[in-house]
Structure 1
Amino acid sequence: MTMKYAVVTGGTSGMGLGVAKMLLSKGYYVFATYVGSDFTEKIENFEALKIDQTNRIEVYKFIDYVKSKTDHLDCLHCNAGISIRKSFTEYEDKDWDAMMEVAVNSHYIICREFFPIIPPGSRILFTGSQMGVDPHAMVLAYGVTKSAVHALCKNLVKEFEGTGTTINTVVPGFVETPWQKEKPEDIKQNIYKKTAIHRFATIDEIVDAFRFCIDNPFVNGSLIEVNGGYNYK
């Protein structure tokens, strides 16, 4: 039986790691990118590669490395992203450029360069955000990057037409990730009030949406909002 291969960007923590482990349970060999502190956990059929996705040289090196290890890529999860919380007038060019480079530009390059080795019937997944649907004053640039991710997903559907490969985006609301846990309690309570279920999602609940995209071959070009009824009022 031929081994299936997957790439998960930002795949060593939070939702990315959750999806990576789900793919491992399905028998995939996973290449995961990360930045920051070294990832030292040893997991069978899992390679964590430290890549700064604001640096295109490193992005291309990662692509070349994966291609040196496999001639096919059965699942690509474009998950990495960064958020710099500033007001509209406080953003510097470097802030905007970094967020666009990680969330949009690097993933466009990754999709384009892996295109020749993605076989029919594969899966391409994106991590979107509710902030790309509902504007938020303190994460304007992040919201714009995620809106662009949503558009990239939909436009890629045409590029893979007739191949059986599906491209979908899961659009999470607020999720219990380490980053969200650092929010002040008063801000959390305000978010709970705006969410019909009155809590954040668990990582597993978001991973289940990605699993659905992998298992269902007719879901294609969809933005699947998993937000607990955020902004229902």
Structure 2
Amino acid sequence: MLNPRRENSLFERVFNLENLNFYMSRISFYLKERIKEIRHRVLLESYEAQKLPKWERIVLTWMMLFIFWIIVSSSIVLENLLIGGLATLIISSFMYNMLTDDIRHSGHLVEKIFYIVFFYMPQYIFIMIFRIIESNFKVAKHAVLMDINPGIVKIKTDLHSDTGITILANSITLTPGTLTLDVDRKLGEAYLYVHWIDVKTLNREKAGESIKGDIEEWLKKVFW
């Protein structure tokens, strides 16, 4: 028969050990949550640093809206231009984040506009036309020979902005043979689930290189 004092002492040890394990688990959970919060804050700060300054976003938004005003009004009368310029400037000062929030901050504003209009846009159009033509031939070949291996692959993207990821996903869908099904965004990372008509590899990096091609590299020049 156990001594009551010894039994109580044993019970207290077990109870204290359980409490210690409980508090240790809580500390581990708390530290993980704190690390997540710090990482999230650092990522937000890094994203903010990649965005355009406020005045550049306002100017870009105003230019886009003003051009749209001229096209819609179909008039280049001085009075119409003054009214349109003032109205679009007021609107731009309130909604600049909606159109330019995802554009990467790099170089001077005039330089950026020049490169986007005369280099980046033509480059993107050329890349997409080439990929669509190339993929059409590949899909036609698969349709004749029926040598397909369809499947869903998960690929990672280095883009973080909503606009950049959306354009990448739509570009993949526009390319025959691939279809973006879903986007999975985690803390600091983004993944695309793509249906691939002829899965060549399950390796995430190699599959990403084959599916994304040069599109992502182009998008990274414009969007963060």
* TM bucket normalised to smaller: under 0.3
TM-score (norm 2): 0.25
TM-score by length of 1: 0.24
Answer with 1 or 2: which has the greater Rg. 2
Select the structure that is richer in strand.
1
Q: Greater relative contact order: 1 or 2 (C-alpha under 8 angstroms, separation 6 or more)? A: 2
